[in-house]
Amino acid sequence: MTIAGEVRSASQIGAPPEAGHRLHPGAWLAWLSGGCAAVFLTSNPLYLSLAFLVGTGVYLSVRESPKGRAFGAFVLIGLVFAVISIPFNVLTGSSGPSVIATMPELSFPSWFGGFTLGGDITGESLMTATNRALGIATLVVFAGAFNASIDHFRLMRLAPRALSQLMLTLTVAIVVLPQAVAHARSVAEAQRLRGKPARGLRALPGLLLPTLHGALERSVQRAESMDARGFGGGDGAGGGAFAGVVGVLGLGVATWGAFAHYWYGAGLLPTLAIAGGVVLVGIALLRGAGVETTRLRADRWAPLDAFIAIAAVLAVVLMLALRMNGAGDAGYLAYPEVVAPAFHPVGAIAMLLLLAPALASGARGTRS
Q: Contacting other proteins (CB under 8 A), which of 49, 57, 118, 154?
A: 154
Q: Contacting other proteins (CB under 8 A), which of 95, 102, 107, 221?
A: 221
Is 237 a residue that touches other proteins (CB under 8 A)? no
Alpha helices by DSSP H, listed for the chain, are 2-12, 25-41, 45-62, 66-92, 123-149, 152-158, 164-193, 204-228, 240-264, 268-288, 303-325, 345-353, 356-367
Report how far apart the first and last C-alpha atoms of the chain are (Å, whole number): 32
Alpha carbon distance 337, 293 (integer Å): 58
Is 297 a residue that touches other proteins (CB under 8 A)? yes
Alpha carbon distance 180, 216 (integer Å): 10
* Nearest distance, CB of residue 271 and other proteins, angstroms: 36
The tally of CA atoms less than 13 A away on the side-chain side of residue 197 is: 4
Footprint of other proteins on 105-144 (CB under 8 A): none
* Nearest distance, CB of residue 224 and other proteins, angstroms: 6
* Nearest distance, CB of residue 163 and other proteins, angstroms: 15
- Among residues 105 and 235, whose Cβ is nearest to other proteins? 235
Of 227, 228, 222, 238, which Cα lies nearest the Cα of 287? Answer: 238
Is 205 a residue that touches other proteins (CB under 8 A)? yes
- Are 129 and 93 in contact by the 8 Å Cβ rule? The answer is yes
- Among residues 67 and 132, whose Cβ is nearest to other proteins? 67
Alpha carbon distance 45, 40 (integer Å): 12
Q: What is the DSSP letter of 122?
A: E
Alpha carbon distance 134, 341 (integer Å): 15
Alpha carbon distance 204, 201 (integer Å): 5
- Are 43 and 332 in contact by the 8 Å Cβ rule? The answer is yes
* Nearest distance, CB of residue 24 and other proteins, angstroms: 15
- Are 62 and 145 in contact by the 8 Å Cβ rule? The answer is yes
Is 236 a residue that touches other proteins (CB under 8 A)? yes
Is 288 a residue that touches other proteins (CB under 8 A)? no
Q: What is the DSSP letter of 117?
A: E
Rounded to 5°, the CA angle 132-138-141 comes to 145
Amino acid at 51: A
Q: Contacting other proteins (CB under 8 A), which of 2, 110, 366, 368?
A: 2
Q: Contacting other proteins (CB under 8 A), which of 114, 201, 202, 292?
A: 292
Is 168 a residue that touches other proteins (CB under 8 A)? yes
Is 222 a residue that touches other proteins (CB under 8 A)? yes
- Among residues 83 and 213, whose Cβ is nearest to other proteins? 213
Which residues 6+ apart lie within 8 Å of 220 measured at CB? none
The interface mask with other proteins, positions 61-100, x = CB under 8 A, is ----xxx---------------------------------
Footprint of other proteins on 25-44 (CB under 8 A): none
Alpha carbon distance 218, 127 (integer Å): 45
Q: Contacting other proteins (CB under 8 A), which of 40, 153, 307, 335?
A: 153
Footprint of other proteins on 348-367 (CB under 8 A): none
- Among residues 6 and 105, whose Cβ is nearest to other proteins? 6
Rounded to 5°, the CA angle 112-333-116 comes to 20
Is 190 a residue that touches other proteins (CB under 8 A)? yes
Q: Contacting other proteins (CB under 8 A), which of 14, 104, 114, 230?
A: 230
List of residues contacting other proteins (CB under 8 A): 2-4, 6-7, 9-12, 17-18, 65-67, 151-154, 168, 171-172, 175, 178-179, 183, 186-187, 189-197, 205-206, 209-210, 213-214, 217-219, 221-234, 236, 292-297
